[in-house]
C-alpha cells in the first residue's frame, strides 16, 4: 500500500476538516493518485472521478457531512467521495463481488443519502431532502452535484422549476466538464459555453468583489443589486435565474481555495431559495492518458498506470452490440429510410459505428430517453424506419412514451434493447430485468429475444419489414459464440419459434440468451438417461401457439427459461396453456429472475445466484421428477 502524507490520516470527512486550507491541495493530489491506482486494479469509472477530486475534498471540508447531505448525480464521479468517507480500505473492491458498488448506495454508507446510478435525479432527491428538513425545522445543508450532460435531461428541469418556486434553500453544483459519457449535445451545451466565455461579465464580477472588499459593508447590498442588474442586462437573464436560482459562476473547479471560499459563502448565505454554483472541470484531470483520451477514460477495464494501456478482452468473436451495428449498417446501405437514434450512448449501443457511416441519419439526443422514444415516433409517422437503440435499464425511463406515443398509435419504431439480462459489475441498477414484462403486456407489440448472434441478425432483418406496428429485439451484453452470421436477407416468420433438438417427455422452452445453458443441462441429463427437447421460442409476443400446443401435447414436463422478471414469457406461456386446458395435463414450471435485486458480481456468478444456469435447470427437472414419483407413490 502507498504511503500518503495527509490521506493516511483521513478516515472520515471530520479528518479532512482538521486540515489547514493550504494542505487541501496536497490531499487532493493524494486522493487522485489513490483513485488512479485503485481503478487500475478493479476497472470502473475513472474520468468523472478524476474531474471532481478537488470538489469532493472541498465539499467535505466545508460541509458537516453526513449531517449535511451530499447527493451525487449518477454516481460515476463518487469514487473520491467514497475514499474520503470511510471506504478507502475497501476501494480496491469496487464493482467486485461483495465489494463496493460503483455508484452511491444508501445501504453502503451513511454518507450516501440517496442511491444513484441513472442520471439526472440529484436535484429532485436533494429538493425532497431539503423540504423534509424544512418541515422538520432542521438547518442541515443539502447539496446536489450534477454534470452538464445529466442536466440536459427533462427531469432536471422539472426539479429546478419546482425548487425555484418552492423557495427552499439548497445548493446545486453544476459540474461542467463539457463531456458526459460522449460529447454532450444540444442547446444546453452551447448555452453553458456562452456563459463561460462572457469576458465582460467576468470582469464586472471582479469589480464587484473589489467594491465589496474595499468599502464598508453598507455598500455590499447595493453592489449585489448592481451585479444582479448587470448580469440580467448583459445576458438577458440566465436560465437559472429565471427558474428562481441564484447563479454563481462559472468558477475553476480545480482551484481548491476558490471552491472552499465559494462553498462557504453559499453555505452561510441568507438567500431564501436554491443556489446554483457553476464550476468548470476537466474530466480525466491529472492523469495524462485520461486527459488525451476521447472519452476521458469514462469507463475502463484494468489498466497499467504507467502506460495507460487497458487490458483488452481476448475474445476473438464480436460483441452483440457490434453485430447489431454492422447488420443495421448493411440494411441502411440499401434502405435510406433507416434512422439510428440513441440517448447519449453512441458507443455503448454501437450507434457510433452507424453514425460514422451515416452521419446525417444518426441522432444522439442526449440523456433524454423519453424524448428519444417520441422523437422516433415522429419519424415513424413520416414513413421513416427509426431504430431506437437503448439499454434495457434506460428504456424503463421512457415507458410512458413507449405506451402512449408508440404502442397506442401502433407506430413502427424498432427498439434495439442492449444489455438485456444481468450485466455484471454495474449491478442491479443496470440490469435488463423488466423489458420482457413491460413490453409484452402492450397490445400489438412484437417482442423478440436473440439466443445467439446469428438469431440477432435474423431478428434485425425481420424488423426492417415490420411497418405496421412497433417491435423490439433484446440481446445481452458481451460477446457471442463465434457462430457464422447469416445474410441480411434471412428472416424469421413473425411469431414462429424453432425446435433445437427433440427428445421425449421433458421440454425446455428457452426465450433469450439462456439457450446455451439449456444445451449444457440437456447434455448432462442425457448422460443419466433423460431425453430432452429444446425449443427456442424467439417470440414472447406474438407467441408461437401452434408450436407451444405441439410441445405441450407431446411432453409431460415443460420448463420455460428467460432472463427476465415475473410477467414475461413464462407468464404468457402459462396463460396460453391454461386457456387451452393443458396445465392440468402436464407439469409446467417457469424459471425467471428471482423476486429480488441481484448485487453486482461476475455475470456467471450472478446467474448462478439467480438460479438460471445449467445446474439450476438440471435441479429443476430433478425436483419435478422426484415430486412426480412421490405423488405416484402416494396414489
Question: Which among 105, 283, 469, 587 is annotated as catalytic?
Answer: 283
Contact by Cβ (8 Å): 365, 397? no
For CA atoms 116, 122, 125, 131, the dihedral sign is: positive
Cα distance between residue 124 and residue 141, in whole Å: 15
CA distance 363 to 343: 8
Whether 496 is a known active-site residue: answer: no
Does the annotation mark 519 as catalytic?
no
| From 369, 453, 455, 517, active-site residue | 369
Strands 142-147 and 44-45: unpaired
Q: Which of 32, 231, 397, 587 is catalytic?
A: 397
User: For 49, left (φ over 0), alpha (ψ -120 to 50), or beta?
Assistant: alpha
Q: Give the span between the Cα atoms of 352 and 436, in whole angstroms.
A: 26
Q: Is 562 a catalytic residue?
A: no
Q: Say which residues have a Cβ less than 8 Å from residue 599's Cβ, sequence separation at least 6.
A: 97, 98, 427, 428
* Integer Cα distance of 41 and 433 in angstroms: 29
Only one residue has cell 402459462, namely 574
- Cα–Cα distance measured from residue 408 to residue 107, given in angstroms and rounded to the nearest whole number: 40
623: number of Cβ within 10 Å: 11
The helix/strand count (H/E) of the chain reads as: 26, 19
Q: Which residues contact 356 (CB under 8 A, 6 or more apart)?
A: none
Q: What is the 3-state secondary structure (H, E, C) of 99-110?
A: CCCCCECCCCCC
> Sheet containing 587-591: which strands, arranged edge to edge?
498-501, 532-536, 505-511, 555-562, 587-591
Show which residues are catalytic: 283, 369, 397
Amino acid at each position: 500500500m502507498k504511503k500518503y502524507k495527509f490521506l493516511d490520516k483521513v478516515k472520515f470527512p471530520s479528518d479532512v476538516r482538521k486540515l489547514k486550507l493550504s494542505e487541501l491541495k496536497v490531499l487532493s493530489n493524494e486522493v487522485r493518485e489513490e483513485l488512479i491506482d485503485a481503478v487500475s486494479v478493479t476497472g470502473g469509472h475513472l474520468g468523472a472521478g478524476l474531474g471532481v477530486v478537488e470538489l469532493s475534498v472541498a465539499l467535505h471540508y466545508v460541509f458537516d457531512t453526513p449531517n449535511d447531505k451530499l447527493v451525487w448525480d449518477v454516481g460515476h464521479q463518487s469514487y473520491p467521495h467514497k475514499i474520503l468517507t470511510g471506504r478507502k480500505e475497501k476501494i480496491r473492491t469496487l464493482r467486485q463481488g461483495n465489494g463496493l458498488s460503483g455508484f452511491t448506495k444508501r445501504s453502503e454508507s451513511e454518507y450516501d443519502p440517496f442511491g444513484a446510478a441513472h442520471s439526472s435525479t440529484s436535484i429532485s432527491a436533494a429538493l425532497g431532502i431539503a423540504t423534509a428538513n424544512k418541515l422538520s425545522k432542521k438547518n442541515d445543508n443539502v447539496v446536489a452535484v450534477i454534470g452538464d450532460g445529466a442536466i440536459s435531461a427533462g427531469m432536471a428541469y422539472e426539479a429546478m422549476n419546482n425548487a425555484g418556486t418552492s423557495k427552499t434553500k439548497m445548493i446545486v453544483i453544476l459540474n461542467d466538464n463539457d463531456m458526459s459519457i460522449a460529447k454532450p449535445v444540444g442547446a444546453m451545451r452551447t448555452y453553458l459555453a456562452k456563459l463561460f466565455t462572457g469576458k465582460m461579465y467576468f470582469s464586472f464580477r471582479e469589480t464587484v468583489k473589489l467594491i465589496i472588499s474595499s468599502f464598508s459593508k453598507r455598500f455590499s447590498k447595493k453592489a449585489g443589486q448592481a451585479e444582479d442588474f448587470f448580469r440580467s442586462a448583459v445576458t438577458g437573464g440566465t436560465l437559472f435565474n429565471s427558474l428562481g436560482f441564484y447563479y454563481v459562476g462559472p468558477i475553476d473547479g480545480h482551484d481548491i481555495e476558490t471552491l472552499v471560499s465559494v462553498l462557504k459563502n453559499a453555505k452561510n448565505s441568507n438567500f431564501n431559495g436554491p443556489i446554483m454554483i457553476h464550476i468548470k472541470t476537466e474530466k480525466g484531470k491529472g492523469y495524462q492518458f485520461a486527459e488525451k483520451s476521447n472519452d476521458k477514460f469514462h469507463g475502463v477495464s484494468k489498466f497499467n498506470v504507467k502506460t495507460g494501456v487497458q487490458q483488452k478482452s481476448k475474445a476473438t468473436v464480436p460483441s452483440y452490440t457490434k453485430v447489431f451495428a454492422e447488420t443495421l449498417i448493411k440494411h441502411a446501405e440499401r434502405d435510406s429510410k433507416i434512422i439510428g437514434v440513441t440517448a447519449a450512448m453512441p458507443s455503448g449501443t454501437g450507434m457510433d459505428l452507424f453514425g460514422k457511416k451515416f452521419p446525417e441519419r444518426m441522432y444522439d439526443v442526449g440523456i433524454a430517453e423519453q424524448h428519444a422514444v417520441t422523437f422516433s415516433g415522429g419519424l415513424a409517422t413520416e414513413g421513416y424506419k427509426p431504430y431506437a437503440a437503448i439499454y434495457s435499464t434506460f428504456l424503463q425511463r421512457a415507458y410512458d412514451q413507449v405506451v402512449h406515443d408508440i404502442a397506442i398509435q401502433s407506430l413502427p419504431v424498432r427498439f434495439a434493447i442492449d444489455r438485456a439480462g444481468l450485466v455484471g459489475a454495474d449491478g442491479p441498477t443496470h440490469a435488463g430485468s423488466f423489458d420482457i414484462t413491460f413490453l409484452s403486456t402492450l397490445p400489438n407489440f412484437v417482442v423478440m429475444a436473440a439466443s445467439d448472434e446469428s438469431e440477432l441478425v435474423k431478428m434485425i432483418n425481420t424488423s426492417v419489414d415490420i411497418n405496421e406496428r412497433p417491435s423490439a429485439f433484446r440481446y445481452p451484453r458481451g460477446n457471442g459464440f463465434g457462430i457464422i452470421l447469416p445474410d441480411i436477407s434471412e428472416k424469421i416468420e413473425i411469431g414462429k419459434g424453432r425446435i433445437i433438438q427433440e427428445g421425449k417427455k421433458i421440454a425446455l422452452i428457452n426465450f433469450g440468451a439462456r439457450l446455451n445453458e439449456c444445451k449444457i443441462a440437456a447434455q448432462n441429463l442425457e448422460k443419466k438417461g433423460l431425453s430432452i427437447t429444446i425449443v427456442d421460442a424467439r417470440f414472447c409476443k406474438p407467441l408461437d401457439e401452434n408450436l407451444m400446443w405441439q410441445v405441450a401435447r407431446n411432453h409431460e414436463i415443460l420448463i420455460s427459461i428467460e432472463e427476465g422478471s415475473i410477467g414475461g414469457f413464462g407468464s404468457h406461456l402459462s396463460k396460453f396453456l391454461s386457456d387451452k386446458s393443458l396445465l392440468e395435463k402436464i407439469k409446467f414450471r417457469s424459471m425467471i429472475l428471482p423476486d429480488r435485486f441481484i448485487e453486482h458480481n461476475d455475470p456467471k456468478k450472478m446467474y448462478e445466484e439467480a438460479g438460471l444456469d445449467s445446474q439450476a435447470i438440471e435441479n429443476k427437472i430433478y425436483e419435478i421428477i422426484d415430486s412426480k414419483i412421490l405423488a405416484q407413490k402416494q396414489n
